[in-house]
């Protein structure tokens, strides 16, 4: 009588390397003071300042009948994603490539693609957590709870996908960490300008507003603001965000270099 050999426990073994990689990368991120400062403290501090000043909680004709707090809340949410995915992530990945870490990973059981997945989860996860904190602070200051929660979540997910794709494209085009930092900053300012950081969308003239509508963060602010107001995001900004995610992601995949 022969016994049937037991099959090896495949799933837990396969998952351990990625979990360990995710844990190590998360610890490295937490030790980086600049990453935590620019990604978390600045937008949270800005929302707190807007929340404690009475004048910024009152509706104003200058901002289309909304309060400055309600206008700048979605803009600061966009800031979190663009800082994490477009400014910080490319510098880290380009630095890994420049130091040969991606090349060495290709010779181990953990492929370099898992490093991309771990980095993407860390930076986008941090972005989601900080955006939740921003929303909670704003709600405590009188901003209503999003009346279109599914549309709100969908809008943020598409913003996350679009900014991650743009960040990977910057990584693919940057040969070194220094170039990645320069390209990230070069992309950051136009993105945030058309999101309304310096000139709110309600005060933009028609040409600027049109360009903003077709920019990734302008579309993101438009979709998130509509969800906060209870109208639900229109199809146009969602399609713009999806288009940036697909187009930039496809180009990044073709141009990405592991060494």
More confident residue, 128 or 37: 128
Instruction: Enumerate residues 6+ apart whose C-beta is below 8 A from 234.
Output: 222, 223, 226
Q: Say if 208 falls within a structural domain.
A: yes
What CA–CA distance (Å, rounded) separates 200 from 58? 16
pTM equals 0.84
Per-residue pLDDT of 97-155, as tens digits, reads 888 877 777 677 666 667 777 877 887 888 888 999 999 999 988 888 887 888 899 99
Q: Say if 145 falls within a structural domain.
A: yes
Per-residue pLDDT of 171-186, as tens digits, reads 888 878 899 989 999 9
The parent domain of residue 202 ranges over 21-255
Query: CA end-to-end span of the chain, whole Å?
Result: 54
Query: Running DSSP on this structure, what letter comes out for residue 60?
Result: B
The total of structural domains in the chain comes to 1
Q: Say if 243 falls within a structural domain.
A: yes
What CA–CA distance (Å, rounded) separates 173 from 186? 13
Instruction: Count the neighbouring beta carbons within 10 Å of the beta carbon of residue 192.
Output: 19
Q: Say if 205 falls within a structural domain.
A: yes
227 touches 146 (CB < 8 A): yes
- Rounded percentage of the chain residues whose pLDDT exceeds 70: 89
Q: Say if 11 falls within a structural domain.
A: no
The pair of three-digit structure tokens given for residue 138, joined into one six-digit string:
């704003």
Q: Say if 220 falls within a structural domain.
A: yes
């Amino acid at each position: 009588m022969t016994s049937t050999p037991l099959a090896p426990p495949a799933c837990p073994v396969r998952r351990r390397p990625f979990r360990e990689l995710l844990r190590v990368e998360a610890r490295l991120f937490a030790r980086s003071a600049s990453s935590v400062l620019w990604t978390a403290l600045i937008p949270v501090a800005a929302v707190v300042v807007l929340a404690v000043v009475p004048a910024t909680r009152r509706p104003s004709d200058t901002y289309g009948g909304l309060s400055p707090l309600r206008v700048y809340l979605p803009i600061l949410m966009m800031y979190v994603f663009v800082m994490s995915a477009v400014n910080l992530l490319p510098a880290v990945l380009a630095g890994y490539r420049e130091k040969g870490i991606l090349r060495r990973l290709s010779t181990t059981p953990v492929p370099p693609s898992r490093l991309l997945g771990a980095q993407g989860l860390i930076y986008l996860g941090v972005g989601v957590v900080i955006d939740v904190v921003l929303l909670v602070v704003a709600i405590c200051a009188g901003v209503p709870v999003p009346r279109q929660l599914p549309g709100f979540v969908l809008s943020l997910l598409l913003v996350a996908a679009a900014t991650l794709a743009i960040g990977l494209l910057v990584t693919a085009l940057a040969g070194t960490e220094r170039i990645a930092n320069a390209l990230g900053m070069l992309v950051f300012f136009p993105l945030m300008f058309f999101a309304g950081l310096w000139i709110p969308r309600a005060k933009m003239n028609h040409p600027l507003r049109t360009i903003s509508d077709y920019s990734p963060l302008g579309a993101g602010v438009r979709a998130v603001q509509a969800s906060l107001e209870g109208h639900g995001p229109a199809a146009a900004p969602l399609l713009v965000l999806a288009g940036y995610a697909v187009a930039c992601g496809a180009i990044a995949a073709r141009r990405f270099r592991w060494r």
